[in-house]
Amino acid sequence: MGTLSLNDYEDVRIWAPWGHIAGRWYGNRSERPILAIHGWLDNLGTFDTLIPLLPDYLGVLCIDLPGHGCSSRLPPGMQYNTAEYALIIARVMKEYKWPKVSLMGHSLGGALCFIYAALAPHTVDLVIALDNILPSIESSEWIKRLANCVDRYLVVSEHGEKEPPCYTFSHLRKVLSQGSNDSVPPELAHHLLYRSVAKSQFHPDKFYFTKDARTKFYNYLSANAPLIAEMSSRIKKKPYLIIKASKSNYINSKANEAISILRKQNPHFEYHEVPGTHHVHLVSPDLCAQYIVPFLRHHRPPAVSSWSLNGEEKKLSMKEHCRSQENSFAGHLNLLSKL
């Protein structure tokens, strides 16, 4: 068996009341794929370097969250929020009539996987969380951020159709890298830029970011410790793989109780730490793939019809043919001996 190719994909558009959800379906499109969800202010390009390391018998459907990448923006006056983002999973399932879903998420995407698995555990068969697992936990910092978002949201929502600040493409790389706290190096920024920039109408040699500015100030679900514990307890016996980046603090001591509950009631729970920053799956995909690939092969193995034994099937078929011939020949000899 081989691995997926970035060139083997189909661009998809999934209907939504406000427009569409854009996606890119890699590999096998005859079976239910892994649904991959990117992080805050990113897009599906975040999985570009990881996709070619995943087994090719499975498909992977990567989507852009609303307001990100090539997906539609919410209507004017609406605010992005974690609850609506989590419902995107249900919308995709409904579109393709999936009875279950296999989830992989980075950062915000990892939190959305946790939220959805807690809300509808009977529909989730596995979760892969890349450097984040929980929604925000209530604290004094949370209320400060929320207060700041209220004022800034009103400013950006009234910006209208004016063209945002423009940059040369090389400058865009640096801007994106700085915006990720240097988690995405400039030399890898193009994986996210190709779905998030447009050419300026006024400056032919410059580009601007196309993601909805309102996504910077989305209303995210904040949960207290008892609620997180209750949500974790609802995710029973679900294969759950968590990969933490060593230089990131997105998974910290606040997640200890949730991790303990998940580990206790999930016989196939895995937790691994790999060296790297928050976007380790993009920068060092091989470090993540060493855990993701065997996890997928174990919990989403290839269908029997797709197994390949490198020629063994032909050998077995020939043996069966020879055995049949031998039995037939023996039968003829037995009949002749009675004549």
CA 243/CA 253 separation, integer angstroms: 15
CA 83/CA 111 separation, integer angstroms: 11
Compute φ and ψ for 23, nearest 5 degrees. -155, 170
- Report how many helices (DSSP H) and strands (DSSP E) the chain contains, helices first: 10, 12
As given in the structure block, the two tokens for residue 109 are 């995407």
| Tokens 């945002």 -> residue | 164
Contacts of 200 (CB under 8 A, 6+ apart): 163, 166, 206, 207, 208
Query: Of the listed 30, 71, 102, 107, which one is catalytic?
Result: 107
Contact between residue 184 and residue 279 where contact means Cβ atoms under 8 Å apart: yes
| Tokens 């990567």 -> residue | 62
Compute φ and ψ for 32, nearest 5 degrees. -60, 125
- Angle separating helix axes 108-119 and 225-233, nearest 10 degrees: 60
Contacts of 64 (CB under 8 A, 6+ apart): 21, 22, 23, 38, 43, 44, 70, 71, 195
Question: Distances from the Cα of 336 to the Cαs of 328, 329, 330, 333, in angstroms?
Answer: 13, 11, 10, 5
Residue 107 is among the residues annotated as catalytic for this protein: yes
Question: Distances from the Cα of 77 to the Cαs of 16, 68, 158, 314, in angstroms?
Answer: 17, 17, 9, 63
Contact between residue 255 and residue 309 where contact means Cβ atoms under 8 Å apart: no
Q: What is the set of active-site residues?
A: 107
